[in-house]
A and B are shown apart, each in its own frame.
Chain A
Amino acid sequence: MVENAYDAVVVGAGGDGPVTAWKLAEAGLSVLVLEAGPFHGNEQWPNPHEEPGGEASSSVEDLSGDLLDEQFTTRELEMITNLVFGPADHERGFWFRKFPGDGAILQCAGVGGTTLHYTGCHPRAYPASIDEQGHWPIEYADLVPYYREVEEMCEVAPAPVTAKEELFFRGAEAAGWDLIEDLNVTEPGYRPQPNAIRQPDEKLHVDGDYDGEFTYPDVEGDTLALGNIAGNPHPRGAPFEEKAKRASNVSFVPAALRTDNVTIRPNAFVTDVLTETPRGDTPTATGVEFRDTWSGATERVDAEVVVLAAGAIETPRLWLNADLPENDWVGRGLTIHFGDNVMGLWDGDDLEETIGKPTVDQHEGQDIAARLDYPGVGMLQTVGTAPGIGAILGFGASASGFAFQNDPADAPWDTMGRLAGSDLKRLLSDYRRMLQVLVVSDDRPHQRNGVSVAPGASDEHGPIPIVNYEPSEGDRKRRDELAETAAEILREAGASHVHRSDSPPTALHVHSTMRMGKVVDEACEAYDVDRLFVADHSALANGVGGANPTNTGQALAARTGEKIVERHF
């Protein structure tokens, strides 16, 4: 049952909102979390994409591992369709937004947000991106205690090695890079991913001759099957909180509910921030208005503090659509880790020599479990995908036409661009002998890039987000440097064919549209609205150097939770 008033209302139950909610609730505040998408694995909503179900969930007893097993099939097309940002009702399409350039935005709706399809990667920011790039008003050292807390909650540990990681490590070592064993990375080198995925059961070692079931309780922890991008329910049969991947729905949501101070209402899209201006010019946030995505009914809720955690696209959209003061940086400074994909293909004989078997088998092991850190430039990471996602990321989307139109004679890759026809079929026939490397660049915040709204282009929640992005010359150079580094590592690992996508600007990591120091202060409270806080990746002052942003977003959200209590309660 949702009340009319709470101490705090949090807009969004994605990667970060539940962290702040948990902190506030631990301090004894009553908290309502409003989430636009569905709540998976919750007994209040046995068929979350087919019927409205219950109203809200306030008890950890509602969480069900069996329901999560049923709803997270790990089938790639089905799960992308179910999870990508849109209404719960399966009959309705995605919520419309204008994509950046000819790329796309990949965000999820639902409790857990985009951590539902993140791959568990939980590195810290590069310290230099916070202390030396000039964007942040706080220091890296301020975040370290919160990183530790988040890493403990999410059980972050070095990712295990299967064949594909061994192949990458051999290539990186042969290319002359050093192994990094640290949490705080200041020099380039390669590492196992710090992943928020429980380490695998030791009986799954290749030498162990295991021939039992891969379900709980026969195996506990990670089961080494792909599935993170498609919502990971492994090990199947495990209780909700024993699932291996510590997405925010598995890590912070149960902790928040266990305080008995938190109510989560899914299928509730916030459309307005309510304010009063009792004195002077600065408005004070007093609550929000939201719309039930099944019934269309509109409701209001009052709160002492409003926390925006709707993500780096929807948080500025909500600000712009609400009657809030103008600020030149709301929605501006978007960073998306302007990315690319470089694919290696191997001959079976060469693989036999390098990794002792004729196939890479990218469908085995954690999706993303090996990385190269490159402070000042960005990062590389290996990606195992099922063939559909692999096809669109590696071959189907490009900013430079088709491979047959490009001449890569002087380039370190053999082909570049979209692949189609018999070229595509020939390459994908080698699916089990290929490994993809994702290029993630340290793109910098530019005021021109970001989210705006226009009155004419609206949906049921008001003007839609119009997302514009154009990388700078420096951003392109960093990306090119990383693509060349990836090609060299793949060659050193023995790849016989290297393909570069030249991907369009696809927003997998989305940040810095409500930047600390520009829109929000050092406690993440808006300069222009009292008692209005931002606790999601939009408050990050830059793209944290190109490292995966979840850990930093959550660390900052935890810190913001404490600051809210200090300032207002």
Chain B
Amino acid sequence: MVTSRIGAWLTAARRSLTSTVGLLLELLGIGPDVDPHTRVTFRAIADAVVPETPALAEEIGPEHVAGGLAIDLDEFAITYVDDGFQFGLPHLGPQGNIPIADPIAHVLDAAALTLVERGDNEAEPSLDRALSLLGPDDPSAAKTEDAVGPFAKLSRRDRLRAIAILDEFEVEFTPTDHDLLELDAGLVGQLVVGFMEMIYYSEWQGYDEFTQPPSRREHPNDPAAVQSWRQTGFPGFANGYAALRGYVGTADGPLGDGDAWTTIDESTGVAIRREPGSFRENEYDTSGYEEPFPVESG
């Protein structure tokens, strides 16, 4: 009992020390403030992956115009990737996480430079284009100019082309027959395109504050609160649906029973039946097995 009380005290002491260290780091400028270059680069990503699309209004409806920047997707993406991985400093809490948004932004700049060097860009890079990504709450254009990197200056399509260049950076190192070390910069592309899309189309926008502890997160579960749900027609999360059609099976087979609710194929007798069944514990014989494709030894 005494030992557990001492243990609890030590834990509390360590935690308060941790938050003091955290405060110091913030005062020294190593804190959650987002670097302006990172901010404008992530805006450029969000704007290329889920852009504002006025042309879709006539084609599929006005609700499809707004894009990621309208809901600060860039800001959340920075928080999400910076909080996403940690490298073994549990007592630092969130400050033990590895901030990777800054390095990602620099990698994208390198890819943009390669694109332009090759002359594969369709439009000239433009500082004004990058500055137009700034929001009303951002520092003025004059203050941000220096922070704009090559990636943010590209057209939307060229930004995607630059991301695709990263797919080419693959290293494979095989010192012996059974050793392999491969590294693939395409992972950056999966992060900035794949994660951006997953976040945008998920429930994320509906939270008051996603970074709250799980027990204190509120979500209205209503398309009115989630722009992407209005664009996909996703109705929100439900406890259930009366959507049962039955069980696929044949009249004399074990999988389903009862009346046919609908027929899949007249000639084979496959139908959707009303009642559930079970699989057959069958005899099996694999002696005729042949590999459909060549097999390497391993």
Chain A interfacial positions (CB closer than 8 Å to B): 47, 49-50, 52, 70-71, 73-78, 82, 86-87, 89-96, 99-104, 127-128, 131-133, 140, 148, 157-158, 160-163, 165-166, 169-170, 173-174, 178-179, 181-184, 186, 192, 194, 199-200, 202-211, 213-215, 219, 223-227, 234-236, 293-297, 328, 332-333, 356, 361, 363-365, 370, 375-377, 386-392, 395-397, 399-402, 404-405, 418, 420-422, 424-426, 428-429, 431-432, 444-449, 452, 458-461, 466, 468-470, 472-474, 477-478, 481, 504
Contacts and interface: CB of A to CB of B under 8 A. Distances in A.
B244 A426 contact: no
Contacts of A184: 281-284
A431 B229 CA distance: 10
Contacts of B83: 91, 93
Given A376-B291, A392-B198, A399-B167, A78 B56 contact: no
Given A132-B286, A200-B244, A473 B199 contact: no
A96 B98 contact: yes
Given A93-B83, A158-B279, A181-B280, A392 B194 contact: yes
B97 interface: yes
18 contacts: A87-B90, A92-B90, A92-B93, A102-B184, A178-B268, A184-B283, A194-B279, A205-B244, A223-B239, A224-B243, A396-B190, A399-B186, A420-B50, A420-B160, A425-B231, A426-B56, A452-B179, A472-B298
Contacts, number: 406
B88 A460 contact: yes
A71 B200 CA distance: 23
B229 A420 contact: no
Interface string B180-193: 11101111011001
Contacts of A140: 284, 286
Interface of B: 7, 11, 48-51, 53, 55-56, 59-61, 64, 67, 83-91, 93-94, 96-98, 156-157, 160-161, 163-164, 167, 170, 172, 174, 177-182, 184-187, 189-190, 193-204, 210, 213-215, 217, 219, 221, 228-229, 231-235, 237-250, 253-256, 261-262, 264-265, 268, 270, 272, 274, 276-286, 289-296, 298
B60 A424 contact: no
B298 A447 contact: yes
B193 A422 contact: no
A234 B203 contact: no
B219 A186 contact: no
Contacts of A446: 296, 298
A92 B86 contact: yes
A84 to B, nearest CB: 10
Nearest to A74: B237
A448 B180 contact: yes
A396 B296 contact: no
Given A158-B278, A186-B284, A431-B233, A99 B187 contact: yes
Nearest to B61: A429
B183 to A, nearest CB: 8
A215 to B, nearest CB: 6
A236 B244 contact: no
B213 A183 contact: no
A449 B180 contact: yes
B269 to A, nearest CB: 9
Contacts of B186: 101-102, 399, 504
Contacts of A148: 281
A204 B247 CA distance: 13
B97 A387 contact: no
A78 B214 contact: yes
Contacts of A71: 214
B115 to A, nearest CB: 12
Contacts of B240: 204, 214, 219, 223-225, 234-235
Contacts of B184: 101-102
Given A96-B86, A166-B262, A470 B60 contact: no
| Residue among A52, A181, A186 with most chain B CB within 10 A | A181
B190 A387 contact: no
A272 B102 CA distance: 35
A387 B232 CA distance: 7
Enumerate the 4 nearest inter-chain pairs by beta-carbon distance, A residue then B residue, closest first.
Answer: A214-B240, A223-B240, A388-B202, A102-B186
Contacts of A89: 90, 93
Nearest to B86: A93
Contacts of B242: 203-206, 208-211, 224
A52 B15 CA distance: 13
Contact of B96 (A92, A102, A219): A92
A377 B48 CA distance: 38
Contact of B268 (A179, A390, A392, A458): A179
A377 B264 contact: no
Given A163-B245, A448-B179, A477-B293, A225 B239 contact: yes
A187 to B, nearest CB: 10
Contact of A204 (B194, B210, B213, B241): B241
B268 A429 contact: no
Nearest to A454: B181
Given A161-B245, A192-B248, A387-B232, A402 B164 contact: yes
B10 to A, nearest CB: 8
B112 to A, nearest CB: 15
A549 to B, nearest CB: 18
A73 B48 contact: no
Given A169-B264, A420-B48, 17 more contacts: A73-B237, A78-B210, A102-B187, A160-B276, A173-B268, A178-B268, A186-B285, A192-B255, A219-B240, A227-B237, A236-B239, A296-B90, A377-B292, A420-B49, A421-B51, A449-B180, A481-B293
A179 B250 contact: yes
B223 to A, nearest CB: 11
A386 to B, nearest CB: 7
A224 B231 contact: no
Contacts of B164: 401-402, 405, 418
